[in-house]
């Protein structure tokens, strides 16, 4: 008998993070590029007005801790 669960572990997930310090196109590109270099990240969208970063990712390969560390390494603060 197989598993009938919806959305297994390898299903893409999405998280939105509040990030302080992003206020220009350079900031946006720095955060997007840093996150896109992580294995398992499928898409990154930065909203400068809202101060948010939305990440679509494979949870088997990468997760919240890596996102926070990467954003902080790029010089921004995850709230």
pLDDT per position as a tens digit, 33-67: 999 999 999 999 999 999 999 999 999 999 999 99
Three-point CA angle 13, 14, 15, nearest 5°: 135
**What is the model's pTM?**
0.85
Q: Answer yes or no: are the C-beta atoms of 60 and 8 closer than 8 Å.
A: no
| SS3 per-residue string spanning 6-42 | CCCCCCCEEEEEEEECCCCHHHHHHHHHHHHCCCCEE
Domains of the chain: 13-78 (3.30.70.100)
């Amino acid at each position: 008998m197989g598993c009938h669960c919806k959305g297994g572990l390898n299903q893409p997930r999405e998280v939105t993070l509040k990030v302080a310090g992003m206020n220009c196109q350079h900031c946006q590109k720095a955060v997007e590029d840093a996150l896109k270099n992580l294995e398992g990240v499928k898409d990154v969208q930065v909203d400068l007005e809202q101060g948010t970063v939305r990440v679509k990712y494979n949870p088997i390969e990468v997760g919240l801790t890596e996102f926070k560390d990467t954003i902080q390494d790029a010089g921004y603060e995850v709230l």
